[in-house]
Amino acid sequence: MFNGDYVHGMSIFKLIGPLLILLGLTTGAAANPHSMTPLPNEELSQSLSLTNACSKVNIVEWRQDGGPNEIAKNKLNAICNKVIGDFPRFFKNKEYNVTPIENFTQSVSIIPIDNGFRNLNDIIFRFSTRSFIEYDENGDLITILGYHQRATSFIYIYNQVLIDGKLNKQFRTVFAHELFHALSYQFGIFYQHDGNKNETEEEMAQDFTEFMGYGR
* Binding interface with Zn ion (CB under 5 A): 202, 205
Nearer to Zn ion, 73 or 184 (CB): 184
CA dist 157 and 145 (Å) reads 6
Contacts of 38 (CB under 8 A, 6+ apart): 60, 61, 109
CA dist 116 and 103 (Å) reads 34
User: Nearest-CB residue to Zn ion?
Assistant: 205
Nearer to Zn ion, 68 or 130 (CB): 130
| CB of residue 205 to Zn ion, shortest distance in Å | 5
Contact status, residue 214 vs residue 173, Cβ threshold 8 Å:
yes
Nearer to Zn ion, 73 or 154 (CB): 154
Q: How many CB atoms lie within 10 A of CB 156?
A: 25
Residue 148 belongs to what H/E stretch? strand 146-149
Nearer to Zn ion, 43 or 202 (CB): 202
Sheet with 106-111: strands ordered across: 48-49, 57-62, 106-111, 154-158, 146-149
Nearer to Zn ion, 42 or 202 (CB): 202
| CB of residue 134 to Zn ion, shortest distance in Å | 12
Distance of alpha carbon 201 from the chain centroid: 17
| CB of residue 28 to Zn ion, shortest distance in Å | 32
Rg (CA), the chain: 21
| CB of residue 165 to Zn ion, shortest distance in Å | 28
| CB of residue 13 to Zn ion, shortest distance in Å | 49
Nearer to Zn ion, 73 or 175 (CB): 175
Compute the CA torsion angle 161, 167, 170, 176 (nearest 10 deg): 80
| CB of residue 148 to Zn ion, shortest distance in Å | 7
Q: Residue 48 has what DSSP assignment? A: E
